[in-house]
Amino acid sequence: MKATSREPASKPLPSRAPTARDDARPIAARVDGALAWLKRHATKAYRDSMARYAIPSDKALGVAMRDIQALAKQLGRDHALAMALWETDIYEARMLTAYVDEPDKVTAAQMDRWCRDFDNWAICDTLCFALWDRTPHAWKKVPQWAGKRDEFVKRAGFVLLACLALHDRTDTETPDTETPFLEGLKLIEREATDARNFVKKAVNWALRAIGGKRNPILKAAALDVAAQLAASDDATARWVGKDALRQLGKGAVRKTAAKQAPSRKVPAKKRAL
């Protein structure tokens, strides 16, 4: 879920922050440096605004996402640093790990452990979107987490599925009956009756993400699942299906309109006589 309201203005970025060149420093010193930087960029206004997005602020400093990402660029990728930042239990430090950790060094056990620590959708979604869908464990975690009882662990399973669909670069218009996304649709159909807000929205997102791909088999299969859910006797499943059909329909209309729109060529200027 992405917030639609504009974020409160953040403080200007300073010229100095810990960088990848500081790797020789002890991990504790690098963590302290990153936390000090975050605290300098924290505002009470931003921290107070988090409640509007259903994000708990009791462990937060109040730093805007753009500042977290700016710090991450200066820090560079560093698995050991990411592990230490997570242990601080500070919201912004944990968000930072999504941009600092190294996908090829992330372990399946680490993903499980961090996932059990989730207490809000923002960290869940950011880790799935910016880090975990690039790891070699992503597809194994989708079915494992999708069947869990914990709300944010289960959400992570479907958000990860949505992110895999959004970031997949192998998708073409050539039908592929072996694609793992078809198995993902079975998980969506199975879990679509979970009425918890953060679960049902993740299930819906995954369905829309798969249905939005170019692969005709996936598109048709996703629309079929959406139609079946829309006709369900269960209220939550109906919402998941109807919303997916509406959103996928809007996308189809926009693509059709773009293809049918007349070209707007600017006529060449007449030569001066």
Query: Which residue, chain included where needed, has tokens 């690098």?
Result: 30
Q: Are 142 and 164 in contact (CB under 8 A)?
A: yes
pLDDT per residue as tens digits for the range 91-130 = 999 999 999 999 999 999 999 999 999 999 999 999 999 9
Task: Give residue 44's identity as a one-letter amino acid code.
Answer: K
pLDDT at 216: 87
Which residue did the predictor score with more confidence, 259 or 237?
237
Separation of first and last alpha carbons in the chain: 60
Q: Are 133 and 164 in contact (CB under 8 A)?
A: yes
Distance CA 133, CA 251 (A): 24
* Residue 69, CA distances (Å) to 59, 72, 97, 120, 204 in order: 19, 5, 10, 19, 27
Distance CA 162, CA 207 (A): 7
User: Domain limits of the chain?
Assistant: 20-101, 121-255
Neighbours of 36 (CB within 10 A): 11
pLDDT per residue as tens digits for the range 32-67 = 999 999 999 999 999 999 999 999 999 999 999 999
Q: Which fold has domain 121-255?
A: Leucine-rich Repeat Variant (1.25.10)
